């Protein structure tokens, strides 16, 4: 089977068989199981710069970058040395450390919309805590989320639109009580009328609107900034808090994430991924007044044994410090724009129905010509094209996340020669997809 693919996965396959005996589906996070692409998952043994190597000794240019955290590429020397230095002093104390202040200060001083923050250990935890803060601060319980936005595996947010006039959510996972899903109202992106109607009817029960300002977990559903502005205005009008879930976009499209990129002030921001420099860190931040609701200052309880972990803080600080270097984002974003343009020019010249929406250093391969801004526009059948492309790219030394609904990331470690090599591989893969 491994050789039928034309891509040798002998060792990865054997490891996968072992892993299946220990973990559900052989993995510790579902998408890693390669269910949406061809063949068994490849097991990674190391990474350096923009490259990763699998257990069967293939080398790839990596556009998954650990699903976003590695904006500086793998094994960044400065992050590595900072981690070593922190580890040498001990790995966890469950007590305050100087390192938390350093990372926290760096963020507060360089992000216009954050006065105070709290560190947690994942994006999911950040979102969960932000919802509790919104509910605690407003005394209201319902939440508006948007179809096509992902906010981690928080119970009340693993929901899709149900039927009915005001669409209360239906859970998308077993194990979530209907009562939790009912606390969430799911709306389509970019539908201002539905939003206004819902707020008119239910605003007195709604604590917050949560949105990925750059929805990047269900394709890349780039919104008009005017829609985000509309969320801001309507949230003020109806006394509802606005949460920007910036777990992907934070520190990615600029140091101030999407909020800074669009110049829109959310009430609460959530972070993960890049903030930990490759270690498990999340955070949520807001005005000092709102954060005053959090324990021990206020009545909203939230805690974590490993929160602000010194090794993770050292990694995050070493990463974010590099992002503040003058021109960092300009260079990275321009490089990505050039890469995406080369791909689009090729597809257009060949007349292939594929487009490459992008923002900052995030890009998506959409097997459609029209601009896609809402989840329901994505044709599930187009994922067959992705499947073929994914395998052909692996054969040519290019690693993309194993699902056509996932975006790709360019890091500062991808140099022009790597991107040029990747463009050639994409061209060959697309020729096969459309042959």
Q: At its nearest, how many Å lie between ligand PLP and the CB of residue 56?
A: 27
Size of the site for ligand PLP (CB under 6 A): 14
**Is the distance from CB of 243 to CB of 180 less than 8 angstroms?**
no
Nearer to ligand PLP, 19 or 120 (CB): 120
Kindly indicate which of the ranges 8-16, 86-94, 117-125, 160-168 contains the residues binding ligand PLP, using the contact rule CB under 6 A.
117-125
297 tagged catalytic = no
Of 140, 167, 166, 145, the closest CA to residue 156 belongs to: 145
Of 360, 428, 400, 434, the closest CA to residue 60 belongs to: 400
123 binds ligand PLP (CB under 6 A): yes
Q: Which of 16, 113, 150, 364 binds ligand PLP (CB under 6 A)?
A: 150
127 binds ligand PLP (CB under 6 A): yes
| 252, containing H or E segment | none
Q: At its nearest, how many Å lie between ligand PLP and the CB of residue 182?
A: 22
129 binds ligand PLP (CB under 6 A): no
Helix (H, G, I), strand (E, B) or coil at 141: coil
**Is the distance from CB of 365 to CB of 387 less than 8 angstroms?**
no
Look at strands 184-187 and 169-171 and give their pairing.
unpaired
Kindly indicate which of the ranges 148-156, 188-196, 333-341, 422-430 contains the residues binding ligand PLP, using the contact rule CB under 6 A.
148-156
271 binds ligand PLP (CB under 6 A): no
Q: At its nearest, how many Å lie between ligand PLP and the CB of residue 39?
A: 24
Nearer to ligand PLP, 12 or 218 (CB): 218
82 binds ligand PLP (CB under 6 A): no
Q: At its nearest, how many Å lie between ligand PLP and the CB of residue 124?
A: 3
Q: Which two tokens stand for residue 53?
A: 């190597």
Could you give the CA distance from residue 241 to residue 140 in angstroms, rounded to a whole number? Answer: 10
Q: Which of 32, 140, 151, 414 binds ligand PLP (CB under 6 A)?
A: 151
Q: Which two tokens stand for residue 112?
A: 């216009």
Q: At its nearest, how many Å lie between ligand PLP and the CB of residue 215?
A: 8
Q: What is the Cα gyration radius of the chain?
A: 22
Q: Which of 39, 73, 219, 272 binds ligand PLP (CB under 6 A)?
A: 272
145 tagged catalytic = no
Site for ligand PLP in 231-270 (CB under 6 A): 245, 247-248
Site string for ligand PLP, 353-392 (x = CB under 6 A): ----------------------------------------
Could you give the CA distance from residue 137 to residue 289 in angstroms, rounded to a whole number? Answer: 10
* DSSP per-residue letters across 56-72: T--EEEESSGGGTT-TT
Could you give the CA distance from residue 216 to residue 331 in angstroms, rounded to a whole number? Answer: 21
Q: Which two tokens stand for residue 172?
A: 């998308």
Site for ligand PLP in 208-227 (CB under 6 A): 212, 217
182 tagged catalytic = no
Q: Which two tokens stand for residue 30?
A: 């579902």
Q: At its nearest, how many Å lie between ligand PLP and the CB of residue 70?
A: 13
Q: Edge-to-edge strand order for the sheet containing 184-187?
A: 116-120, 282-286, 268-271, 241-245, 206-211, 142-146, 184-187
**Is the distance from CB of 134 to CB of 147 less than 8 angstroms?**
no
Q: Which two tokens stand for residue 42?
A: 């490849």
Q: Which of 66, 122, 218, 223 binds ligand PLP (CB under 6 A)?
A: 122
187 binds ligand PLP (CB under 6 A): no
278 binds ligand PLP (CB under 6 A): no
Kindly indicate which of the ranges 145-153, 303-311, 373-381, 416-424 contains the residues binding ligand PLP, using the contact rule CB under 6 A.
145-153
Burial class for 138, CB neighbours closer than 10 Å (0-12, 13-18, 19+)? middle
Q: Which two tokens stand for residue 121?
A: 């250990």
Q: What is the dihedral of CA 394, 400, 278, 293, to 10 degrees?
A: -160
Residues binding ligand PLP (CB under 6 A)? 122-124, 127, 150-152, 212, 217, 245, 247-248, 272, 282
């Amino acid at each position: 089977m491994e050789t039928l693919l034309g891509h040798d996965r002998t060792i990865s396959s054997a490891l996968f068989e072992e892993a299946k005996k220990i973990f559900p589906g052989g993995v510790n996070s579902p998408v890693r199981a390669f269910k949406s692409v061809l063949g068994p998952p490849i097991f990674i043994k190391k990474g350096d710069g923009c490259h990763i190597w699998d257990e069967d000794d293939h080398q790839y240019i990596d556009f998954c970058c650990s699903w976003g955290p590695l904006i500086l590429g793998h094994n960044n020397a400065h992050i590595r040395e900072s981690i070593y230095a922190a580890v040498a002093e001990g790995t966890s104390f469950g007590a305050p450390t100087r390192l938390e202040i350093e990372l926290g200060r760096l963020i507060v001083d360089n992000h216009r919309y954050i006065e105070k923050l709290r560190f947690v250990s994942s994006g999911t935890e950040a979102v969960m805590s932000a919802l509790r803060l919104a509910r605690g601060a407003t005394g209201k319980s319902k939440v508006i989320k948007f179809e096509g936005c992902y906010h981690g595996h928080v119970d009340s947010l693993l929901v899709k639109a149900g039927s009915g006039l005001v669409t209360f959510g239906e859970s998308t996972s077993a194990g979530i009580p209907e009562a939790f899903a009912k606390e969430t109202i799911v709306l389509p992106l970019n539908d201002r009328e539905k939003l206004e109607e819902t707020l008119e009817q239910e605003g007195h029960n709604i604590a917050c609107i949560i949105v990925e300002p750059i929805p990047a977990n269900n394709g890349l559903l780039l919104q008009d900034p005017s829609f985000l502005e509309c969320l801001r205005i309507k949230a003020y009008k109806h006394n509802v808090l606005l949460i920007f879930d910036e777990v992907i976009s934070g520190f990615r499209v600029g140091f101030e994430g999407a909020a800074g990129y669009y110049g829109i002030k959310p009430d609460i921001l959530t972070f993960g991924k890049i903030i930990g420099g490759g270690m498990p860190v999340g955070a949520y931040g807001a005005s000092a007044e709102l954060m005053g609701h959090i324990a021990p200052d206020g009545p909203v309880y939230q805690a974590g044994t490993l929160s602000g972990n010194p090794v993770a803080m050292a990694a995050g600080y070493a990463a974010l410090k590099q992002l503040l270097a003058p021109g960092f984002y300009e260079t990275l974003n321009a490089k990505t724009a050039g890469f995406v343009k080369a791909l689009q020019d090729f597809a257009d010249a060949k007349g292939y129905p594929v487009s490459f929406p992008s923002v900052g250093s995030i890009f998506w391969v959409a097997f459609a010509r029209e601009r896609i801004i809402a989840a329901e526009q994505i044709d599930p059948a187009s994922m067959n094209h992705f499947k073929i492309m994914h395998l052909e790219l692996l054969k040519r030394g290019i690693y993309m996340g194993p699902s056509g609904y996932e975006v790709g990331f360019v890091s500062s470690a991808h140099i022009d020669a790597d991107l040029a090599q990747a463009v050639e591989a994409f061209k060959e893969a697309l020729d096969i997809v459309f042959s």
